[in-house]
Structure formats: C-alpha cells, structure tokens
C-alpha cells in the first residue's frame, strides 16, 4: 500500500504578490518565449508599461513617449501627469492598486485590474520607477519585485511624467533577445490608433496623421483594388479595402489594445459588413465572396472591456458598456450609416467592390468541384496518412489555439524520423514532404487542391477557409542547412505567401535553426549555429576537441535533436516587412529574372562558397521550369 501524503497546516502556503507572479507568469503575460515571436513575454512587458503612457496621452497629458532599449535594458519615459508621489511604490508593487479603478480619471482604459506594471516589476531582475510632478521627483528600485532602494522626494527641474526602467529576468526569459521588427510593429499600432502621438524609439520617430488608413497603407503587401474606405465615429474607427489576395485579413483593436485573436468586435464587423454590402447592391451574395480579399482595420472603445485573458488578445465583451448597446448593434448601425453613405458618394469604389465580389464568386464556383474531390481525398488520406504525425493537443480549455502547438514541415525519411522520435507528441506534429515541392509562383489556387502534398498540408493545418480554424500556432520549416534545404525552404515560403499570406503576416511561419557544428571534449559539448560560435567553442574546449559538421537533419541523433526542438528551440520568424510588396518579392525570387537573382544570391550567400554555383543553377532551373 502506498504511503499517504499528510495534509496539515504546514501544507498551506501564502505567497507574496511577486512570488505568485514569478511562480505562474503565464497567468499574467501569456507565454514566455525568447523574443522570436511578436507575442512573446518580453514584448508584453513593454506593452504593459506603454499602455500606461498611452492612457496619459488619451487623457490629454503628454504628446511624446521616449523609448530606449539597449543591452536588454528597457527605458520608457512619458510626459504625462506622473504618478502621485505618495503612491509611486504602491502603484508598482501592490496588486489591485492604481488610478484606473477611478472611472473619473480613466474612462476607457485598457488595463483596469492594476496588475500590468506589477507583473513587469516581479518578472524583472531590475526595475526602477521615477515620477516627476510639479518640480519634485520620487523614485524606487526593485529586484524581482523586492524593493531595494526607496529614494526620498527631492526637487527637480525635469518635466512632469513617469520613467520606468526594467531588465527582463533571464531566469524566466531564457536566452531572450528584443527584435526591432516586433517592437516597431507594436509602436506603429499605438501611433495609428492615437493620431498626434509621437513615439521616439532609439532615435527613430513614429507618428501617424491618418490613423487606421495609414495602418492599411503600411501593411498592404499587394496593390489595393481601390483607395481605402476610412470611416470614423464616436468610439469607433474603420479602414477597409480589398486586394486580389486570398482570404481575409483583419487588424482589430479595443481601447488601443491590438486584439490579435479578434473577439466580439471583429465578429460583429464581419457580419455587419456582409449585411450592408448585400443591402447596398440588393443582391444576396455569399458571405465568403463579399469578404474574399478584404483587408480591414477596426478599432472600438469600450467601457470596462472584458478580455479572455490578462494579455488581452481577444475581446469577450458583448456590450460597448455595462448594460448598454450590444456590440453587434453598435457596429451594424455605424456601418449602415457610414459605409452606405460612402458607397453612394463614391460610385467608382462601389463598382470596384462589386467587380471583386463577382470575380470571387466565379473563382469559387470554378474551384468547387476540384475542392470537393480534394477534401474527400484528404479525409481518406488522413485515415492512414504517413505524411502527418499529428500532436495530441491543439486548443486550450477555452477552445483557443494553444500557444505551444507546432507543426514541423520537413523533407526526407531520416529527417522526419529524427524529429518524430525527438518531439513532444503532446504539442508538436510533423509533416513529411516527398522531395522538392512545386514552385507555385504565378499559379492559381487550383494547384493547392490538385497537388497531393499541398492539399494534405492545407488539410493538416485546416486553413482552407482562413486562420480561424488553424490547428498549429507555429508552422516551422525544418530543412537541411545545405543548398537543397535552402531551395525547399524558399519553395514552401512561396507557397504560403502565394495562397495563405495571412499565415505569414500574423507571425505563424518560422524556419528552424539547427546547429552546423558540434564541438566537444570528454567534459563538455557545445552546439554551434555559426562559424563564430564554433571558434568560441574550440577555445573553451581547449586543445584537439572533437568537431562534427552537421550537413543534414538526418545526421543528428534523436537524443541530440531533443535539445534543438525543446525549450531552447531556435526559430527564425518569416516576416513580411513593412515595405514588402508580395507580388514583386515573389517575382524576384521565383520569377524569370535570372541575372538579378544571380547577383543577389552571390552577394548574400551564407553557405560555403563552393556551393554558390549550385545554388544559382538551382534557382535558374526552377524559374525556367
């Protein structure tokens, strides 16, 4: 009989506020991460501090926010009213303490539970707060939530405002690195939603004059079919256009918070938009045809918003204020008036819209037959699908996509075998390609259904009708670090950008980084991802270490592979830059522009020079195929 565990008063523990946050950081900031993904914890920390500065701007205090990030030290300085000096320490170290509980001071703020700044404090190895009000300054310094220095109030000539400095704790955020592209995206969104606000980040100025219209212009990766429709009302703003791309692309916000997972406001917009368009044209168009190719930004302001998590990525509120008008009614009434008026006043835009709807309708009907057969093939294949080794968990208890779910796309039996044995079968799946995939540049979506591998990959991800049913949060291309591997990687990226650009735009596509070398002696082993790391490892190992060059994933044993797809996994996000134009980019890499591409490859080649000719020859052959 097993020994029973005693349950006494000694089992009852009370944690200090910072201990609880550090023990369960996911409750407060979502996933941790290393900075690879835009929603990793270190960016949530920055956002929590920024939200307070933005709330000050919204209330009419301080038009500029200065941010400096250097050597993982983050400094945020605003020019608002400053925290009342007698409450500076309480506001950053006492849960459920803050000015936002007083609705007179903050009517439509994002953070209403008084947790955000405290979470940053608790999860930082160093945290300092400094408040300036009317010629006086008060500061306090902390370590992992514990106060270290309580500075006295002294006189100052500095302008009013608050400065917060923090260093994310490396014991919680392992091997993290701030990536400027993720930070810039966050800061631009703040500016798009707050015209007149200026943010200065490491000397770079961010400012928007036209709000959400600027957001669409900056994020469009294809030419729009018409100039963006820009609508503004009290507590609501929208910008809408269409491209010839597939799917739907939304940027939704609540009280300045980027709700990456949408919510009730985004659902309300999608439904209301279809109804208004149907009523305007007097035609009962299919919803999928009305929304195909849409790119829209929607921002609402809600009194006491209810989010589905502390990280506020999905709005749960059904009303714009307690016991007020429903979100659906609010959005519908706005569009019925403003969008309908706009289309009557701009017949050319209305004509472009209807032309796009009819084009989508034709394409859908042409695809209907082949898509039905393809779906049936995919269902049969899934019964004994050797290509997909699925994971067990896809969604959390709220039916949202679990953040750790990953699908590795790999090529070859040996590579897929190593990953399959090494993976965490609970959250990591493997999809095995057979040889090089087809170059899909310039092809229609019909090829997705006619090509067996693309059809099965689409079915495995469940993205035929958009990202709402996506089964994996991270789609990771895992190919060898050689010429063929790089070529396969490019072909897969082309496929996703061509037919499922939303997957890339919303940060779901990555490339797996695997070590090029193993350097070891009898005591230590180093895995090196670059030549510089190899040289450093040799110095640490001393004379005559054993050096192994990995040329393929299949050469790495499953036991070793666990190190590379576990907690310390290195992923490189596939990012479509702010100034990227998808059609031109794909034309350059996969079209028939051989001399330009040859010159680019020679200048940017990062593998052995002896392989340069092979890379160029491969690219030429592919574009001419």
Instruction: Check whether residue 315 and residue 401 sit in a common domain.
Output: no
Q: In what order do the strands lie in the sheet with 509-513?
A: 388-389, 428-433, 406-411, 474-478, 509-513, 570-573
According to DSSP, the residues that pair with 548 across neighbouring strands are 518
Asked which of 194-198, 350-354, 587-591 is least confident by mean pLDDT, the reply is 587-591
Closest CA to 127 of 84, 173, 77, 163: 163
Query: How many whole angstroms separate alpha carbon 190 and alpha carbon 145?
Result: 28
**Number of domain units in the chain:** 4
In a domain, 294, yes or no: yes
Asked if pLDDT for residue 370 goes beyond 80, the answer is: no
**pLDDT tens, residue by residue, 501-556:** 889 888 899 999 888 899 999 899 999 988 899 999 999 998 889 999 987 787 78
Asked if pLDDT for residue 331 goes beyond 50, the answer is: yes
Specify whether the CB–CB gap between 308 and 299 falls below 8 A.
no
Asked if pLDDT for residue 616 goes beyond 50, the answer is: no
Instruction: Check whether residue 414 and residue 439 sit in a common domain.
Output: yes
Per the structure, the complete domain to which residue 98 belongs is given by: 17-206
Query: How many whole angstroms separate alpha carbon 362 and alpha carbon 42?
Result: 46
Instruction: Check whether residue 427 and residue 413 sit in a common domain.
Output: yes
Instruction: Check whether residue 266 and residue 184 sit in a common domain.
Output: no
Instruction: Check whether residue 298 and residue 427 sit in a common domain.
Output: no
**What are the start-end ranges of the E strands in 47-160?**
64-70, 73-78, 124-133, 136-143, 146-150, 154-155
pTM: 0.74
Average pLDDT over residues 201-218: 94
Asked if pLDDT for residue 467 goes beyond 90, the answer is: no
Q: pLDDT over 90 for what percent of the chain?
A: 46
**Measured between alpha carbons, how far is residue 598 from residues 389, 424, 470, 518 in Å?**
37, 40, 36, 32
In a domain, 542, yes or no: yes
Specify whether the CB–CB gap between 28 and 119 falls below 8 A.
yes
**Measured between alpha carbons, how far is residue 324 from residues 103, 327, 328, 610 in Å?**
16, 9, 12, 69
Q: Which two tokens stand for residue 199?
A: 């943010």
Instruction: Check whether residue 179 and residue 230 sit in a common domain.
Output: no
Instruction: Check whether residue 478 and residue 587 sit in a common domain.
Output: yes
pLDDT at 434: 83
Instruction: Check whether residue 433 and residue 463 sit in a common domain.
Output: yes
Instruction: Check whether residue 184 and residue 263 sit in a common domain.
Output: no
**pLDDT tens, residue by residue, 214-263:** 999 888 878 899 999 999 999 899 999 999 887 788 999 998 888 888 88
- Angle 590-592-593 from CA coordinates, rounded to 5°: 95
**Measured between alpha carbons, how far is residue 584 from residues 68, 214, 509, 567, 588 in Å?**
34, 21, 20, 37, 6
pLDDT at 383: 47
Average pLDDT over residues 359-379: 76
Q: Name the phi and psi angles at 270, rounded to 5.
A: -60, -40
Asked if pLDDT for residue 82 goes beyond 70, the answer is: yes
Band of the pLDDT at 318, cuts 50, 70, 90?
Answer: confident
More confident residue, 562 or 142: 142
Instruction: Check whether residue 523 and residue 576 sit in a common domain.
Output: no
In a domain, 353, yes or no: yes
Report which DSSP code applies to 186. H
Specify whether the CB–CB gap between 434 and 365 falls below 8 A.
no
CATH number at residue 233: 3.30.230.10
Instruction: Check whether residue 416 and residue 560 sit in a common domain.
Output: yes
Query: How many whole angstroms separate alpha carbon 343 and alpha carbon 346?
Result: 5
Query: How many whole angstroms separate alpha carbon 310 and alpha carbon 118?
Result: 13
pLDDT at 477: 94
pLDDT at 202: 96
End-of-domain residue from the set 206, 223, 244: 206
Tell me the pLDDT of the chain averaged across its residues: 84
């Amino acid at each position: 009989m097993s020994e029973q565990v005693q349950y006494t008063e000694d089992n009852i523990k009370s944690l200090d506020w910072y201990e609880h946050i550090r023990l369960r950081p996911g409750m407060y900031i979502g996933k941790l991460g290393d900075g690879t993904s835009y929603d990793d914890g270190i960016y949530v920390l920055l956002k929590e501090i920024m939200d307070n500065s933005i709330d000050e701007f919204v209330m009419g205090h301080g038009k500029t926010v200065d941010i400096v990030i250097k050597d993982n030290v983050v400094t945020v300085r605003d020019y608002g009213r400053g925290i009342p000096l007698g409450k500076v320490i309480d506001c950053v170290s006492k849960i459920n303490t803050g000015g936002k509980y007083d609705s007179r001071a903050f009517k439509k703020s994002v953070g209403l539970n008084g947790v955000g700044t405290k979470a940053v404090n608790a999860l930082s190895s160093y945290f300092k707060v400094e408040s300036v009000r009317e010629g006086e300054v008060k500061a306090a310094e902390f370590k992992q939530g514990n106060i270290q220095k309580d500075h006295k109030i002294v006189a100052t000539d500095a302008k009013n405002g608050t400065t917060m400095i923090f260093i994310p704790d490396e014991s919680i955020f392992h091997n993290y690195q701030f990536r400027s592209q993720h930070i810039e995206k966050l800061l631009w969104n703040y500016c798009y939603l707050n015209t007149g606000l200026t943010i200065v980040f490491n000397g770079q100025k961010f400012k928007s004059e036209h709000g959400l219209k600027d957001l669409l212009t900056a994020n469009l990766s294809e030419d729009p079919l018409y100039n963006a429709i820009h609508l503004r009302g009290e507590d609501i703003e929208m910008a809408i256009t269409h491209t010839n791309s597939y799917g739907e692309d939304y940027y939704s916000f609540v009280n300045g918070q980027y709700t990456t997972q949408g919510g009730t406001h985004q659902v309300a917009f999608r439904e209301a938009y279809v109804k208004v368009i149907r009523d305007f044209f007097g035609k009962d168009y299919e919803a999928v045809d009305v929304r195909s190719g849409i790119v829209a930004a929607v921002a609402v302001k809600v009194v006491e918003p209810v989010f589905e998590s502390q990280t506020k990525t999905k709005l749960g509120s059904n009303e714009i204020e307690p016991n007020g008008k429903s979100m659906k009614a609010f959005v519908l009434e706005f569009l019925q008036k403003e969008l309908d008026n706009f289309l009557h006043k701009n017949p050319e835009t209305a004509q472009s819209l209807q032309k796009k709807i009819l084009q989508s309708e034709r394409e859908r009907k042409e695809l209907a037959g082949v898509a039905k057969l393809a779906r049936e093939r995919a269902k049969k294949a899934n019964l004994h699908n050797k290509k997909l080794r699925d994971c067990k968990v896809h969604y959390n208890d709220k039916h949202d996509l679990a953040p750790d779910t990953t699908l590795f796309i790999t090529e070859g039996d040996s590579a897929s075998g190593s990953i399959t044995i090494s993976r965490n079968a609970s959250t990591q799946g493997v999809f095995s390609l057979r040889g090089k995939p087809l170059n899909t540049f310039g092809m229609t979506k019909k090829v997705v259904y006619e090509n067996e591998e693309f059809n099965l990959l689409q079915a495995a991800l469940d993205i035929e009708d958009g990202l709402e049913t996506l089964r994996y949060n991270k789609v990771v291309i895992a190919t060898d670090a050689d010429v063929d591997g790089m070529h396969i990687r490019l072909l897969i990226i082309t496929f996703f950008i061509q037919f499922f650009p939303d997957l890339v735009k919303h940060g779901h596509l990555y490339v797996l980084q695997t070590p090029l070398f193993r350097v070891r002696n009898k005591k230590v082993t180093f895995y090196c991802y670059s030549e510089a790391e190899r040289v450093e490892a040799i110095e640490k190992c001393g004379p005559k270490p054993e050096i192994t060059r990995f040329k393929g994933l299949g050469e790495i044993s499953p036991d070793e592979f666990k190190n590379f797809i576990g907690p310390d996994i290195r992923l490189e996000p596939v990012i479509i830059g702010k100034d990227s134009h998808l059609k031109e980019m794909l034309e350059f890499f996969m079209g028939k522009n051989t001399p330009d591409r040859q010159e680019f490859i020679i200048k940017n080649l990062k593998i052995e020079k002896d392989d340069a000719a092979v890379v160029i020859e491969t690219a030429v052959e592919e574009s001419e195929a």
